[in-house]
Amino acid sequence: MKKHPMLKYLKEEGPLGQRMPLILCPGCGSGQILNYTLHAVDRVMNKDKIRKENFLFISGVGCSARLTSHYLNFDSAWTIHGRTLAIATGSLLANPAFKIIVFTGDGDTGSIGGNHFIHACRRNIDVTILCINNGVYGMTGGQVAPTTSVGTITTTTPYGNIEEAFDLCKLAEIAGASYVARWTTAHPHQVIKSITKGLRKKGTAFIEILSQCPVHNKLSPVTMLKKLKENTIQISKEKESGEGKSLIGEFCDLDKHEWNESYQKLIDQFDHEEGKS
């Protein structure tokens, strides 16, 4: 039997038993995003000769976070809601050589984790943030999220959402991230390219990936993937027919000083050789 090429990066079993299949619902976009991420990591590992132990996956809480719960054959962390970026900052302070990928969701980035998100981008720490935006709080049963569009009916907006949705990419860009992009799960090659770019970028790479939640939207995964393609438009084509559609593409791609690079200059001004004062 031939196995999926990315299974080598997952722990199908641990010393105390079976871990797969993934706990996600059928057709969940998060599973696809894990697939794309592993393709990108595979590319960076092989082309840039980066060793497996340098990679670190961190997530918070929610459907997006289950990806790192116990499936990855890498160092990983399934942590507290919203605090992933603070934990990632801590890991980088302990060891700046880590290549960190953070899986977050709408709530983890835009709600409870909002403050840490803003400051991580401002500091431009060396992480690749993958925000899995499905427009709802999936894990807890379908409540409204900061990224839910106006009018949507959810379990906490039974009469329709009255609040505007967050544009997380704009927030990341203004806060100071080096690389900001938005794609959907229906654009696999673009997502893989962006994640690869993000991993290679020194600084904060924020990649928002619009994803499908078939269960809370009560639509089939295939239908939702079609809708994601139909309701998004590339930045370059916005003027043609962009009415009511979400912009996808790369919003910014800058070379800026990264936090650890700047801090290393502070450390280097002191002599650390034994025998010298």
Partner 1 sequence: MSKEMKANNTKKRLHNVHLLKPGEYYLQGSQACIEGAIMAGCRVYGGYPITPASEIMEYASRRLPQVGGRFIQMEDEIASASLLIGASWGGAKALTATSSPGFSLMQEAISIAIMSETPMVIIDVQRPGPGQGYITASQEDVMQARWGHHGEGSIIALAPSSVQEMFDMTIEAFNLSEQWRTPVLVMAEEPVAHMRERLLIPPWNEIEIIDRKKPQDLGIMPENYLPWGHDIVAPMANWGEGYSVNFVGLVHLEDGNITKYGPQMHYDCVERLFRKIEGNVNEIARIETKFLEGCKNLVICYGCVARTAIEAVIEARKEGGLDVGYLRLITLWPFPQEKLRDIVGNVNTIFVPEMNLGMMKHPITEALRDRFKKIVSIPSLGVLHSPEYILSKIYEEIR
Partner 2 sequence: MNKLWIDERYCKGCLICVDVCPTKSIKPSKEINDWGYILPTEDDMNSCKACGLCELMCPDFAIAIEEVDE
Of 142, 55, 44, nearest in space to 102 by CA: 55
| 110 part of the interface to partner 2, by CB under 8 A | no
| 276 part of the interface to partner 2, by CB under 8 A | no
| 115 part of the interface to partner 1, by CB under 8 A | yes
Report how far residue 254's alpha carbon sits from residue 201's, in angstroms, rounded to the nearest whole number.
9
| 267 part of the interface to partner 1, by CB under 8 A | yes
Cis peptide before 21 (omega within 30 of 0): yes
Q: How many residues bind partner 2 (CB under 8 A)?
A: 31
Tokens matching residue 199? 């991993």
Q: How far apart are the first and last CA of the chain?
A: 64
Among 62, 113, 198, 221, binds partner 2 (CB under 8 A): 221
Query: Looking at 86-94, 197-205, 223-231, 234-242, which segment touches partner 1 (CB under 8 A)?
Result: 86-94
| 184 part of the interface to partner 2, by CB under 8 A | no
Q: Does residue 87 contact residue 58 with C-beta atoms inside 8 Å? A: yes
| 219 part of the interface to partner 2, by CB under 8 A | no
Hunting for tokens 């507290």 — which residue is that? 80
Report how far residue 27's alpha carbon sits from residue 14's, in angstroms, rounded to the nearest whole number.
25
Environment class of 63 (CB within 10 Å of its CB; exposed 0-12, middle 13-18, buried 19+) = buried
52 binds, among partner 1, partner 2, none (CB under 5 to 8 A by kind): partner 1
| 28 part of the interface to partner 2, by CB under 8 A | yes
| 46 part of the interface to partner 2, by CB under 8 A | no
Nearer to partner 2, 29 or 113 (CB): 29
Tokens matching residue 64? 């997006």
Nearer to partner 1, 96 or 242 (CB): 96
Report how far residue 144's alpha carbon sits from residue 153's, in angstroms, rounded to the nearest whole number.
8
Among 77, 136, 172, 199, binds partner 1 (CB under 8 A): 77
**What type of residue sits at position 124?**
N
40-69 footprint of partner 1 as x/- string (CB under 8 A): -----------xxxx-x-x---------xx
| 30 part of the interface to partner 2, by CB under 8 A | yes
Q: What are phi and psi of 248, to 5 degrees?
A: -125, 155
Residues that bind partner 1 (CB under 8 A): 11, 14-19, 23, 51-54, 56, 58, 68-70, 72-80, 83, 86-98, 115-116, 118-119, 259-260, 263, 266-267, 269-277
